[in-house]
Amino acid sequence: MNPPDQLNLSDDQLLRIEAASQLTTLSKSCINLWVVQGKFPKPTCLSKTVKVWRMGQLRAWMNDVFESQGDDICTSRPLASSKENHETDF
């Protein structure tokens, strides 16, 4: 399922991590880390190995992220390149 297709889903639609990853453009490992850190909604466990999110839950989270960032989303300073961080005297 492509992300544009996911936008047409009802709020009650259940999404597994692959679909949540596509929708948010976050990697699966990032999602798992952020869940532990409280930065991403916790999934519902359907079994020991099956975890899902409701589409509405992810929509609400994405809206909250963008509203809390306001105009500052892309205004942070870019990271310095590794060449700038290491002085070399040859």
57: domain CATH number is 1.10.1660
- Tell me which H or E stretch contains 41: none
Number of structural domains, the chain? 1
Residue 23 domain-assigned (yes or no): yes
41 falls within a domain? yes
pLDDT (tens, 9 = 90+) of the chain, 90 residues, equals 555 566 688 999 999 999 999 999 999 999 999 999 999 999 999 999 999 999 999 999 999 998 887 756 565 555 454 444 545 454
Reported as type and span, the H/E element at residue 68 is helix 55-69
Partners of residue 72 on adjacent β-strands? none
Full residue range of the structural domain in which residue 9 is found: 3-68
* Residue 61 main-chain phi, psi, to 5 deg: -60, -45
Which two three-digit tokens encode residue 61?
């989270």
**Within 1-90, where are the H helices?**
3-6, 17-24, 28-37, 55-69, 82-85
